Amino acid sequence: MDMKKQLGIIKRGAVGIISENELKRKLEISTREKKPLRIKAGFDPTAPDLHLGHTVLLRKLRQFQELGHQVIFLIGDFTGQIGDPSGRSETRKQLTKEEVLENAVTYKRQISKILDVDKLEIVFNSEWFNKMSVVEILKLTTHATVSQMLARADFKKRLSKNEDISLLEFMYPLLQGYDSVKLEADIELGGTDQIFNLLVGRDMQKDFGQEPQVVITMPLLEGIDGVQKMSKSYGNFIGINDPADEMFGKIMSVSDNLMAKYYELLTNEELDKVKKLHPKRAKLKLAENIVAQYYSPEEARKAFNEFERVFSRKETPSNAQTYKLKSYKKNIVEIMVETHLASSGNEAKRLIRQGGVTFDGIKINSEKEAVSKSGMLKVGKRRFLKISK
């Protein structure tokens, strides 16, 4: 494919390219010499499950694969133990080596839903960092200054609030930058909150006598609340391992204003055609498209039919979880936690206070209420539990 067509595909959905002229030159040389570019993206395995927010980068990596370039999926098993400070308002909780490695195993399995793993180069940055001495790692600090670090937006914001910043957090961008040196990356992808780290990689490659990588930033995807970026910690995520019905329902809860962004970043649909559809039809099409990507067209159609049955015709879900009361009665909060309708007692109480819990259509008003008969417990708009005596 010629450079112009490649550029059009690469630019779809991207926020910024540093610099576009450098990217054009690299693509021209790659096409002329029939030599694939090395495309890097790093993922710290800080949580076991990937969500649609992660897939914004993964889908762009897949496009590079389809254009014939070499994609490098970097698992930050070393840097994951430090924690990326990008976009954080506080110091990240550090994970153990065991936690990071356990999460990394699930990453490799999940990315196969998007990337061609047979053509993928998967690397762990512990491969080089574990072999470096303390002195060698400390020497990386000579590639940046304290004033540069304090100039980054998230650090500056925390300083203005007199919040702590650890020296270890200063190391993170340098370690990420050194990853680019070791991998000799031509291009690195990252979210807009990663721009500082990505630019450190460019500078470090120059210091090591390499041609600097082109930086491509992708937007952060807002979660189903439509406000904060998608994150498991905010509870606004759509996991790529979510059951098909649940994934479909969550997508249907996305605001109309956010739909166009989801289409652009999570599908290959032509936006002009989508904009002509009725909002509800467009959202149903979006949900069906995304579920089909991670399951199958058949599963997507089943999820569509189930959604219509439950939410349009107000019928009971065919696959509702069942729970059998083993005593005369049981507290509603305990049932919600035991059946994972709420992650904790505090979340269950919050949902009840917000009016999001009903039993046989009647709102639960007190966290002290107990269930003593068969019926349907509903939490939020999409979670159901069939209780039997």
CATH code, 199 = 3.40.50.620
- Token pair 């693509």 is found at 27
DSSP sequence for 40-74: EEEE---SS--BHHHHHHHHHHHHHHHTT-EEEEE
pLDDT for res 129: 94
Question: Are both 308 and 330 inside the same structural domain?
Answer: no
Q: Is residue 224 part of a domain?
A: no
Question: Are both 269 and 138 inside the same structural domain?
Answer: no
pLDDT for res 316: 63
* Cα-based angle 81, 83, 89 (whole degrees, multiple of 5): 155
For residue 11, what are the CA distances in angstroms to 23, 25, 246, 264, 346?
A: 11, 15, 31, 11, 44
Q: Is residue 92 part of a domain?
A: yes
Question: Are both 155 and 248 inside the same structural domain?
Answer: no
Question: Are both 185 and 38 inside the same structural domain?
Answer: yes
- What is the sign of the dihedral through the CA atoms of 251, 257, 263 and 264? negative
CATH code, 357 = 3.10.290.10
Q: pLDDT 10s per residue in the chain (389 long)?
A: 778 888 999 999 999 999 999 999 999 999 999 999 999 999 887 777 789 999 999 999 999 999 999 999 999 888 877 655 554 444 445 667 777 777 777 888 889 999 999 999 999 999 999 999 999 999 999 998 888 888 877 788 888 888 888 788 888 899 999 999 999 999 999 999 889 999 999 999 999 999 999 999 999 999 988 888 898 777 789 999 888 988 998 999 899 889 999 999 999 998 889 888 998 999 999 999 999 999 999 999 999 988 888 776 666 666 677 888 888 888 999 998 888 888 788 888 988 988 888 887 788 888 888 888 888 888 877 778 888 87
Number of domains in the chain: 3
pLDDT for res 144: 86
Q: Is residue 278 part of a domain?
A: yes
Find, among 54, 30, 28, the residue nearest to 43 by Cα: 54
Integer Cα distance of 197 and 175 in angstroms: 9
Integer Cα distance of 276 and 113 in angstroms: 30
Q: Is residue 13 part of a domain?
A: yes
pLDDT for res 63: 96
Q: Is residue 128 part of a domain?
A: yes
Instruction: Assign 277 to helix, strand or coil.
Output: coil
Q: Is residue 116 part of a domain?
A: yes
For residue 268, what are the CA distances in angstroms to 56, 141, 272, 293?
A: 12, 42, 12, 11
Integer Cα distance of 116 and 15 in angstroms: 25
Question: Are both 148 and 246 inside the same structural domain?
Answer: no
Other CB atoms within 10 Å distance of the CB of residue 387: 22
pLDDT for res 263: 95
- Token pair 């956010």 is found at 258
Question: Are both 172 and 305 inside the same structural domain?
Answer: no
pLDDT for res 284: 94
Question: Are both 86 and 159 inside the same structural domain?
Answer: yes
Question: Are both 348 and 267 inside the same structural domain?
Answer: no
pLDDT for res 123: 92
Question: Are both 195 and 53 inside the same structural domain?
Answer: yes
Integer Cα distance of 194 and 56 in angstroms: 14
pTM of the model: 0.77
Q: Is residue 343 part of a domain?
A: yes
Question: Are both 328 and 370 inside the same structural domain?
Answer: yes
Which residues, listed in sequence order, are joined to residue 375 by a DSSP beta bridge? 387
Q: Is residue 272 part of a domain?
A: yes
Instruction: Assign 238 to helix, strand or coil.
Output: coil
**Cis-peptide into 19, omega within 30 deg:** yes
The whole domain housing 331 covers: 321-388
Which of 280, 312, 344 is where one domain is finished? 312
Mutual angle of helices 279-294 and 297-307, in 10-degree steps? 140
Is 214 exposed, middle or buried (CB count within 10 Å of its CB: 0-12, 13-18, 19+)? buried
Question: Are both 69 and 190 inside the same structural domain?
Answer: yes
Which of 184, 218, 252 is where one domain is finished? 218
Integer Cα distance of 191 and 180 in angstroms: 16
Question: Are both 293 and 328 inside the same structural domain?
Answer: no
Which of 291, 312, 333 is where one domain is finished? 312
